[in-house]
Structure 1
Amino acid sequence: MSREAGSRERPGSPGTFLLLVRPNKVTSALGVLHLCYTCLILIIFKNNSVLTLIGGVMRVIIAICIGIIITSWSFLASGGDLYQGTISDSHSHVKGGMKLGNIIKLMDKNNVDAILIMRRDNARINIGRNTPLTTNTELIEFRKLYPKRIRIGLGMQIEPWYSQDQTIIPKIRKQAASGNFKLIGETTLHGGHEKRPVPPSSPLFKEILRIASKHKLPVLIHHFHTGSDDAGQLLEAFRANSNLTIIWAHMCGFSKPDRIRELFREFPRLYCDLAWLPKKKRIAETGIVDMNFNFTPRWKNLIESYPDRFLVGADLTTKYQYGGEYTNSITRIRKALGGLSPEAARKVATENFHRILSNK
């Protein structure tokens, strides 16, 4: 019997994890807090010679706490409200001895109704025991416990894939036909990835596309398009499988908005996932959001023009990331979506996920 009953079916609202305020009500208060924080730091260092050890430590702790409060309030106050609706996470992984039940708790806390989980090589998970995840058995078991919340991807970030071991093809065929998986992926290709030598022209990748097409499964692809020397091969693979739904991870491989418009016009079944949007270290690289996680103008215009073609995902992997970092990632996604029109935000946040990865 499924455990999805009662509150499991109705994740908590965003208000359960954040104190939400309107920016125009806190702007003046932020200035005062900044001034107090600065003065406190100056006092600490100026009078360091006469402070007792305990007093100094306490003042530093107070200063740090004020800094955290200022940072949090500044984030909320910088350019728009957070998107308040449901989020569907279209891109996450399992690895590192994690307990899958904790994922459900975090989903409830952050008003995430459903999640796509893809295993990675040497993943070890725990749903009552800790065993190597080599056949997706544990994920299938987990999905059966929460059929409305969990989607599983047939993960290709595994050693047989990277070594192009053709002997995995029968297993992939069997798993794709099982009905347990909603897509094949994440499938990592070269695309400038020095440690990922698989080119889009590889026979194994072509076979993966044929299997996906036969079973009407989308394929999630990780390939850095911009500047890669094998981008043409990937587009040829798209053209040869025009009936196939392709989700191109990470802003369509870090493509620029104008290039994505061209790709959308040529490939009507192509979608971009916005995984890595919440990652601060990728902001300069992608240009999709500013430092406050607001969509930059060109990206906002693109998404508003094609709201049916984007999905969001936290793209977290280890047991250490599924905690405060997951909440941070979902909050940043909400910040970006809050700048879109309500209709566009809703489609990107959840409706596209349920249309492409339907449980039917």
Structure 2
Amino acid sequence: MTKKPLIYLLASVVIVVVALLLMSRPLFTTEGHTVAKKIGEPSVKSLTSAAASDTAATDTKGNSPEAEMKSLAELVVEYGDLQLIDAHNHDASGFTYASMMKTWKQDSVDRIVLFGDISEPSAIGTDEIAWNAYQEEPDKFIPFFSGINLLDESGLQTVKDNLEKGYFGIGEIAAASTNSPVLANVAWKTKDPMDGILPKTYKLCAEYKTPVLLHIDPPTGEPVAKLEEALEDNRDTTFIFAHINAYNSPDHVEYLLKKHPNLYADFFAGFTASNPESFNQLDDFVSIIKQFPDRFLLSTDSGYGLPGGEEKAIEGMYRLIDALGDRHVAQQVAGGNLERLIRMQPATKTQLEALRKVNDLHGIKKDLSSLTKEEAGKLLSDKETDQ
């Protein structure tokens, strides 16, 4: 056999060296992490599976894997003794509330702030449905109303009549909405929280000590600037920012609450816990809730946008309660804060006059001057039931 020329020998050495270098370098990167392929290392498929396994320890919402998470039933057993109030519920629409009674009982949802449609003529009818539900079960339902023409002075009379009647709050009303497909075309929405009759409505809310629940989207920019103007101009009025955590940052929520003591946060826990469009986790809000424990309210928003609907939203409320790790704060947020907003409302002239007529008819003399709206409403409901 003849010897190879020297040049061929050198070429062979170079090829071997290059091959060894290629075998030792990364094949590709993924999302900034090097994925190497060497003899004895797992394949790309194996690495992907391992990453998925690690990710299972916390899902995309920062929750534990389903197998390790407490079930809703377990959470209800653990926290069912707390007074849980759903502070934002649309189930007066289509009489949906009737089909939810069994679920509420099963999941220990004690009371529901009930209304239906938002800022359009049809809401007048759903307001009446909410009122009738309250008449039937005053210990279960807390009626709010939304059927107000916010663009006409006549709407102020609707506000006054309903507050006198005994409704406990205004809302949800569309004070500003650009992004919501549901509210894109409602007839009575305002362009911002200082538009239409809203400034005068806030004055009536202060007079009656009644909260107003505002839908505001987007939760930044001009709509929120106008909300801040309303908060500053009406410091005796209690404002509730509906689903404040939806498409909003914890830092921004903290900023608003710190700056405005008359602002309450309606926290739609199910959105943060289960909606894939949420970019936050429940834990992101825990420190803020503990910083302002007397100004957070829990709600389901009737499960809007959630896979699993309203029951998934109820589960979200319980998961937030569990994440708080403090039963005193949990009770405030679960129901205590909302109860306080309801019980601070005095009985109206209309309620007191109706009770005096009933008492006179039965020859009863009783001082009614210190009654709250809630107490007067229950007495009137009992009288109607007796008749």
Establish whether TM, by shorter chain, passes 0.5: yes
1:336 matched to 2:320: yes
Task: Describe the shift of the 1:227–1:144 C-alpha distance in structure 2 as closer, same or farther (beyond 3 A).
Answer: closer
- The alignment's TM-score, normalised by the length of structure 1, stands at 0.65
Aligned Cα RMSD in Å?
Answer: 3.4
Contact 2:293/2:329 (8 A) holds in 1: yes
Write the distance in 1 (CA, Å) between the matches of 2:219 and 2:163: 30
Indicate which of 230, 243, 246 corresponds to 1:250.
243
Indicate which of 227, 236, 257 corresponds to 2:229.
236
Task: Describe the shift of the 1:282–1:208 C-alpha distance in structure 2 as closer, same or farther (beyond 3 A).
Answer: farther
**Residue 315 of structure 1 corresponds to which residue in structure 2?**
301
Indicate which of 142, 145, 161 corresponds to 1:174.
161
Contact 1:273/1:310 (8 A) holds in 2: yes
Indicate which of 325, 329, 334 corresponds to 1:349.
334
User: 1:161-200 maps to which residues of 2 (within 5 A)?
Assistant: 161=150, 164-179=151-166, 181-190=167-176, 192-193=178-179, 195=184, 198-200=191-193
Task: Describe the shift of the 1:282–1:197 C-alpha distance in structure 2 as closer, same or farther (beyond 3 A).
Answer: farther
1:223 matched to 2:208: no
Give the superposition deviation at 1:102. Answer: 2.8
**Residue 275 of structure 1 corresponds to which residue in structure 2?**
268
Paired residue type of 1:189 = A
Which blocks of at least 5 consecutive residues in structure 1 are unaligned? 1-37, 39-70, 125-131, 290-294
Which blocks of at least 5 consecutive residues in structure 2 are unaligned? 1-48, 50-64, 344-373, 376-387
SS at match of 1:112: coil
**Residue 265 of structure 1 corresponds to which residue in structure 2?**
258
Matched pairs, number: 269
Task: Describe the shift of the 1:315–1:99 C-alpha distance in structure 2 as closer, same or farther (beyond 3 A).
Answer: closer
* Structure 1 consecutive aligned stretches of length 4 or more whose deviation exceeds 6 Å: none
Larger radius of gyration: 2
Contact 2:160/2:204 (8 A) holds in 1: yes
Alignment deviations for residues 57-105 of structure 1 (CA, whole Å, 9 cap, x no partner): xxxxxxxxxxxxxx8534438xx96751332110101355335333332
Contact 2:177/2:218 (8 A) holds in 1: yes
Task: Describe the shift of the 1:259–1:133 C-alpha distance in structure 2 as closer, same or farther (beyond 3 A).
Answer: closer
- Percent identity reads 20
- The alignment's TM-score, normalised by the length of structure 2, stands at 0.61
Write the distance in 2 (CA, Å) between the matches of 1:253 and 1:332: 13
**Residue 84 of structure 1 corresponds to which residue in structure 2?**
79
Paired residue type of 1:109 = Q
Contact 1:225/1:252 (8 A) holds in 2: no
Paired residue type of 1:357 = I
Paired residue type of 2:330 = A
Task: Describe the shift of the 1:317–1:170 C-alpha distance in structure 2 as closer, same or farther (beyond 3 A).
Answer: farther
Q: Which moved more, 1:115-124 or 1:205-214?
A: 115-124
